[in-house]
Amino acid sequence: MNTKYTIPYTDQELVKKILEGDRHAFNLLIKHTEKLVAQLVSKMIPITADRKDIAQEVYLKIYSNLSKFRFQSKLSTWVGQITYNSCLHHLQKKRPLLLESFVDKGNEEKPVDFVKHSQTDENETEMKLYGKELADTIAIALQQLPLIQQTIVTLFYQEELSLEEISAITSLPVGTLKSYLFRARQKLKAILLNIKKRGEL
């Protein structure tokens, strides 16, 4: 189970404190959301040297625009939106070829019910091995997916966000997200089975 840092304030209370100049409150916001920001940036931006600058830019945008936040979503979801859009802007402005590689050309597929497939496939070969070796192998396999699929898988499984929350962050329809998750799961299974056949797992 993914452990998350919690803060002793509601979103409204935290925003009010930050807008009143409470620097400790803003540090709490950073600590509460830094893992989400880091996950998004690391998955969307393949150039390591660019990641720190983008993360700093994200929190500058958050601080500058916090007064415009209208609590139509969770504060963390809003932070995710800013991070996702900042990464896309960076790819579009400086790395157009990377932006093209980020976009999955297969999203025209008919959306599938990911939950249904998870239930009906539960008797098939599944990733039931545990430990650091498997975690490392899965991480390597994940890197072989298109960047957009890496991002969605990370948000869904590692950050444990709902499809609705991911949709709010990425502006992608829930049906499209289900399709991404299903295809990513099938690709990961194929990659891991291939690794196992080679005796590396």
CA 168 to chain centre: 12
Instruction: Give the pLDDT confidence score for residue 27 in this predicted structure.
Output: 94
**160-173: per-residue pLDDT in tens?**
899 999 999 999 99
Q: Which residues contact 61 (CB under 8 A, 6 or more apart)?
A: 82, 86
**46-97: per-residue pLDDT in tens?**
888 889 999 999 999 999 999 999 999 999 999 999 999 999 888 887 655 5
Instruction: Give the pLDDT confidence score for residue 58 in this predicted structure.
Output: 95
Give yes or no for a contact between 149 and 183, defined as CB atoms under 8 angstroms apart: yes
Q: Which residues contact 150 (CB under 8 A, 6 or more apart)?
A: 43, 142, 143, 184
Please report which confidence band the pLDDT of residue 15 belongs to, taking 50, 70 and 90 as the band edges: very high
Q: What domains sit in the chain, N to C, each tagged with a CATH number?
A: 11-101 (1.10.1740.10), 103-197 (1.10.10.10)
